[in-house]
Structure 1
Amino acid sequence: MNFKEYQLKPYIQKALEEKGFKEPTEVQQYFIPMIRKGKSVVGQSQTGTGKTHTFLIPLFQRLDETKEEVQVIITAPSRELAQQIYKEAQWIASFSGESIKIACYIGGTDKKRQIEKLQQGQPQIVIGTPGRILDLIKEQALKVHTAFAFVVDEADMTLDLGFLGEVDQIAGRLPYLEQMLVFSATIPEKLKPFLKKYMENPVMGEIKPKEKIATTIENCLLSTKGQDRIGIIYQLLTMGNPYLALVFANTKERVDEITSALRERGLKVAKIHGDVPPRERKRVMKQIQNLEYQYVVATDLAARGIDIEGVSLVINDELPKDLEFYIHRVGRTGRNGLEGTAITLYGPGDDQAILELEEMGVNFVPKALKNGELVDTFDRRRREQRTKTQQKLDPSMIGMVKKKKKKVKPGYKKKINRTIEEDRRRRRRQEMKQQNRRRRKERKEEY
């Protein structure tokens, strides 16, 4: 597929070409034709699959540039995500010969000034956080009744952060709504009543990535063994000179603690979490994009709500409580075919969580810090695996192995070696058969 095959408006095509977008992603191929036809959709796909342009491209295609009224409303659960969507929408609109009014309404900005501006005219595309958009509707400043399309981006995150009530109220004020587009990484049970309320026979689609984590990312596992984790993080940040490093912690308090400790050691560190004031967060994000910071410490807000380009190193101070967030965290690096490194610090109590991540398809490489370098080390389960291997041997084979260790006649020794080698070959053939069966089963499930 090529974007030219969609026969888009010339300015949309030009905007995509300037971005270097030639071929649509899998999620775009699946949903763009349906959205262009005016169908409502529920799209399930991971972060980083091209969801933003999946809805922006066909909605700009359906937009009537001559009508100076609200036509499209897009909500996002975080201010940063709303600003990112706004930035992409502005880019497309900048190539249009006719003026397209796009407004971004988020918390922490001047509401009074926004109301005054709305009295002078309405935007054609509204993007923002649910709370601020609803506030402007209630003030009777934002006239949304003319909208034909309503987009709820990152719906599961919207639910988790408690904004679904506001989204519900916005949807209830759209009498001429033709099309609702809901995009989400997951579809929780608590989200389904909302979908049923506003969507009748939507097109449902789940685009599963070929691999949960890009193959360009090396997932390193580093045992802390009771050592000072901040000291380890400092070593990891300073020994390789990363282009841009992102450190994840589970709580705002831990982010503050790591940030303060790293600053005391002389590093220029930015921090991002929910308690950082909106204006400061906006300023910090701009500085990060301008490469004024090399190190960023953040909560999981940055894993899904913020798109930071150029991340070459991700460090997990600890594993996230929700293991799905591990995928979102490490997905900040290794983008667009570039190589990335993700280093996870773990302790004795993390074995079960690591095992679950391995079952999800994460391939960990065990590492250790030695003389200021990250080096390969033994697998954390080598003893357990050795015991299992010994237990798998037939009793007769165990006897053979024991005899091999003793002094025996040369002819008998060859016989033992042949028997052991034949058993190994037999086991390898069985493993290969099992792997082939698994692959065939996986291919069937894909189709």
Structure 2
Amino acid sequence: MKRGGLVNTFKQFHFNPFIDEALNDKGFETPTEVQAKLIPLIQKGKSVVGQSQTGSGKTHTFLLPLMDKINVEKDETQIVVTAPSRELATQIFQAASQIAKFSTPEIRVTNFVGGTDKQRQLNRLKHQQPHVVIGTPGRILDMMNEQALKVHTASAFVIDEADMTLDMGFLEEVDQIASRLPEKLQMLVFSATIPEKLRPFLKKYMENPIIEEIRPKAIISESIDNWLISTKGKDKNRLIYQLLTVGHPYLAIVFANTKQRVDEITDYLKGQGLKVAKIHGDITPRERKRVMRQVQNLEFQYVVATDLAARGIDIEGVSHVINAEIPEELDFFIHRVGRTGRNQLSGTAITLYDPSDDQAIMAIEKLGVTFKPKEIKEGEIVDTYDRNRRTKREKSKDVLDPTLIGLVKKKKKKIKPGYKKKIEWAISDSNKQKRKVERRQQTRSVRKNKKNSNQ
């Protein structure tokens, strides 16, 4: 059965039985939009650039059709997947391992990331090659340079979160991996955005790829309550503490723009007696791994993080996201807020803003985001006035000449329809005249400025 031209059950893809078992085990029945559009193309061996937001089901979009085609009898690498962060690579590895265990014999999946025992991995590769290679570009390339990992047999190469790979400076390593893969290769690139700097790379390795942009129905999920809270005259750290304790989140992430600000917020919240996890670039890989495991096990209710450290992390069950400050890159706003409200669960996103942030808020609103203005009053979060209410009120009033005020007053009285029209024309003509005069004055001042600058 199809709805709106899209497949709406995984049965339509005719996967091998072990894939169906893995899907049943996960409780997956209906493909997401990106899965419905791209799985049939991947099954046909097409190279694809899939542009879709984080949390749209990209991982299973490539894992299901590619792992469905693996020949388990062959002791060789058949799929290579790169991800820009250890956390993201580990999440893909976990998803692939869940599918692999239903295959008989089991599909071998290996995760190559920094912070793991390199020597043990090298020893294992001497005896056996994995069917599926997943990892960060640096560690995969390292294994290839050691002559241990043989990727020349791969038939598919996946670059996940390509824009983030570029942002974090890993595109060169990905380029080196791609250059050693067979010429006849199915390449799949997934990215939330396609930056200009990524295009030469795509052109180099992909001949006429199918480019599919999966636009979200709403820029942020409709299940997210999106609040805006003014920090004017308030202690920001105290405000964050109040929001975390008043709202009783199941799991909350507080985002800040810098490592220093993450440290400040964390120290303040710990000083208030909250158990807080901290994630930013200066934390050692081992510590980061430990903290992530604790977060996944719900040992922490509060996480404070920077954007780049958190972009490769997919934490389930986030009920609240707090933007301690507005991100410098507006794309990050969408990424942050998209951490909550997943899988149609409700979520709350709270953005703190200062009057000086007004331009940034307007830019976010232009993306199609709507905010609900809120404030904390007597220990409760309540509705408040829209920050633009004065501007809106002033805009709605047409400034009239004193000569026309009488006409407007007359218009309000019960008078003949023909006379009403005359009043409307008079007001309209007056406004036109005023605009003409303004334009003339502008032209004159431009000429005058030109003349002065030429003297």
Distance 1:79 1:395, change over 3 A: farther
Deviation at residue 395 of structure 1 after TM alignment: 7.9
Distance 1:338 1:399 in 2: 57
Q: What is the root-mean-square deviation of aligned Cα atoms in Å?
A: 2.2
Distance 1:31 1:389, change over 3 A: same
Verify the 8 A CA contact 1:303 1:332 in the aligned structure 2.
Answer: no
Verify the 8 A CA contact 1:130 1:163 in the aligned structure 2.
Answer: yes
Larger Rg: 2
Deviation at residue 97 of structure 1 after TM alignment: 2.0
Does 2:367 correspond to 1:363?
no
Identity rate, percent: 66
Does 2:22 correspond to 1:15?
yes
Q: What whole-Å deviation, never above 9, does each CA across 1:126-159 have from its counterpart, x for those lacking one?
A: 0000000001100111111111111000001101
Verify the 8 A CA contact 2:281 2:309 in the aligned structure 1.
Answer: no
Verify the 8 A CA contact 1:105 1:133 in the aligned structure 2.
Answer: yes
Distance 1:18 1:190 in 2: 40
Matched residue, 2:190: 183
Matched residue, 2:60: 53
Matched residue, 2:303: 296
Matched residue, 1:193: 200
Matched residue, 2:122: 115
**Counterpart residue identity of residue 130, structure 1:** P
Give the counterpart of 2:275 among 261, 268, 278.
Answer: 268
Normalized against structure 2, the TM-score is what? 0.87
Distance 1:399 1:66 in 2: 92
Tell me the secondary structure at the aligned position of residue 114 of structure 1: helix
Distance 2:97 2:400 in 1: 65
Matched residue, 1:150: 157
Matched residue, 2:429: none
Q: Which runs of 4+ in 1 moved over 3 A?
A: 392-404, 412-416
Distance 2:251 2:61 in 1: 28
Give the counterpart of 1:287 among 294, 300, 304.
Answer: 294
Q: Which runs of 5+ in 2 are unaligned?
A: 1-7, 425-455
Distance 2:176 2:399 in 1: 61
Deviation at residue 402 of structure 1 after TM alignment: 6.2
Distance 1:101 1:335, change over 3 A: same
Normalized against structure 1, the TM-score is what? 0.88
Give the counterpart of 1:128 among 127, 135, 138.
Answer: 135
Distance 1:413 1:221 in 2: 42
Distance 1:257 1:98, change over 3 A: same
Does 2:346 correspond to 1:339?
yes
Deviation at residue 229 of structure 1 after TM alignment: 0.7
Distance 1:321 1:398, change over 3 A: farther
Matched residue, 1:206: 213
**Counterpart residue identity of residue 23, structure 2:** L
Distance 1:395 1:61, change over 3 A: farther
Q: What whole-Å deviation, never above 9, does each CA across 1:204-238 have from its counterpart, x for those lacking one?
A: 11111111101111111111003211110000001
Does 2:384 correspond to 1:377?
yes
Tell me the secondary structure at the aligned position of residue 97 of structure 1: coil
How many residue pairs match? The answer is: 414
Distance 1:207 1:393 in 2: 48
Give the counterpart of 1:100 among 74, 95, 107.
Answer: 107
**Counterpart residue identity of residue 247, structure 2:** G
Tell me the secondary structure at the aligned position of residue 92 of structure 1: helix
Q: Quick check: 95-104 or 297-306, which moved more?
A: 297-306
Matched residue, 2:173: 166
Matched residue, 1:407: none
**Counterpart residue identity of residue 197, structure 2:** K
**Counterpart residue identity of residue 141, structure 2:** L
Distance 1:77 1:393, change over 3 A: farther
